[in-house]
């Protein structure tokens, strides 16, 4: 089950368009901070802040490779959020599936 504090951090991270753009870029593959910065017209400290928020939410991980830090998308958190949303949206719905049958 998704912890509500973690869920709050996730939604906070997703609320900013720059952070959503970082996630979209990382969806295509791992990137260094420098490679990510090429896609933004914001300062490097601002990008660093956005990456920190994404890491705190568990949406992004980083790994030092030599002098570079490589960022990767962590899709597990997205899967947890989707599962929570599905439970939230269908959990209290008694009109759906009135016959008692359950999908596998």
CA 42 to chain centre: 20
Per-residue pLDDT at 103: 44
pLDDT tens per residue across span 34-70: 999 999 999 999 999 999 999 999 999 999 999 999 9
Confidence of residue 86 (pLDDT cuts 50, 70, 90): confident
- Short-list 24, 16, 68, CA closest to 46: 16
Span 72-90, average pLDDT? 80
**CA neighbours within 13 Å on the CB side: how many for 41?**
0
- pLDDT for 5 equals 59
Q: Considering the domain 4-87, what is its CATH architecture?
A: Orthogonal Bundle (1.10)
Q: What are the domain boundaries of the chain?
A: 4-87
> In the chain, which ranges are E strands?
31-32, 60-65, 68-73
For range 65-86, the mean pLDDT: 85
Place of tokens 């030092």: 64
Give the residue, 89 or 43, on which the prediction is more confident: 43
Can you tell me the distance from the alpha carbon of 79 to that of 102, in angstroms, rounded to the nearest whole number?
A: 21
């Amino acid at each position: 089950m998704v912890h509500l504090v973690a869920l709050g951090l996730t939604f906070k991270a997703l609320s900013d368009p720059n952070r959503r753009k970082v996630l979209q870029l990382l969806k295509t593959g791992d990137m260094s901070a420098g490679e990510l910065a090429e896609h933004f017209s914001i300062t490097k400290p601002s990008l660093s802040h956005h990456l920190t928020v994404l890491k705190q939410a568990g949406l992004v991980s980083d790994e030092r490779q030599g002098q570079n830090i490589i960022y990767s998308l962590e899709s597990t958190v997205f899967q947890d959020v989707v599962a929570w949303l599905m439970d939230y949206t269908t959990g209290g719905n008694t009109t759906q599936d009135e016959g008692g049958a359950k999908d596998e």
